[in-house]
Amino acid sequence: MEEVQKLAVVTGANSGVGYEVTRGLLKEGFQVVMACRNLEKANRAKEQLLTEMPSSLLEVSAIDLSDLESIKSFAREFRSKFQHLNILINNAGVLFNKPKRNKANLEMQFATNHLGHFLLTSLLLDLMPDSTSSRVVSLSSLAHKKAEIYFDDINCEQQTKWDAPYAQSKLACLLFADELQRKLHLAGKKVLSVAAHPGGTDSGLFDHMPKLFMQVLRLTFVPLFLHSNESAARPILKAALEGNVKGGEFFGPTGLFEMKGPPGLAKRTKYSKREDVAQQLWEVSEQMLGEPFAVEN
């Protein structure tokens, strides 16, 4: 019997951590679909990867995770080309220092980082073989530790801290990973939902910050606390590939302040473990999308 090619989707694969995750998956023999908003940058990244690994199977496909119709279009195109999916890396993320909304008038970071991936997962999950090697990996952040889900203020209009929307969105990613794992388990599925965070890395996430602020940051903070994108990708690749991973686990760097160091199990807040919050977030996400996300047995 002919062996089926292992297939992965990585969102935001054209730069930073997503690029290195893609690179790591290619080295493990996966065919990778780079799901990216900026096709010009994505195709340049594809050329770089193929220069290094010319025999790799690598595709670029357009997706804007802040735009629900773009996500649905990506899923339709993907399903027209492929009959299975082994690993979905929900990596793409945005960080803004000023309020911003998407086309549906939703706070952009929540819409992109959480809600877009929630919808994408719902549209592709049934393509995943029922095996513990099938993984949905959701990227959270250390920022989750200073957040809660503001169910009465999901657009963060009443929040005073500039990074509250980002922190909320990354907490949502972690809660989603947990609730998805519970639903997979209840449905009798072997597919695993896990979470990871990259620690501290100047991966392009800060590109929307003021230039002077970033210059100071790169001279002071970056050398002390941040590690390379290649190192930052290791917890994500561990979550995606290692055989002893359990559903619901959360991986990250284990060194200084969890900003860098060897990958391992990450620390998390008590709030982020609350099943009632995760369940409510799932229901709110369905309501915001106007359609259910049911995990079928």
Strands 192-196 and 250-253 turn out to be parallel
Q: What φ, ψ does residue 174 adopt, rounded to 5°?
A: -70, -45
For the chain, counts of helices (H) and of strands (E): 10, 8
Task: Please confirm, yes or no, whether 166 is among the known catalytic residues.
Answer: yes
Cα separation of 15 and 12, whole Å? Answer: 7
Cα separation of 257 and 211, whole Å? Answer: 26
232 Cβ neighbours under 8 A, 6+ residues apart: 17, 20, 198, 199, 200, 201, 203, 253
Catalytic residue among 19, 150, 166, 271: 166
DSSP code of 225? H
Q: Which two tokens stand for residue 253?
A: 């760097």
∠ CA(114), CA(193), CA(82), 5° rounding?
Answer: 85
DSSP code of 9? E
User: Catalytic residue numbers?
Assistant: 166
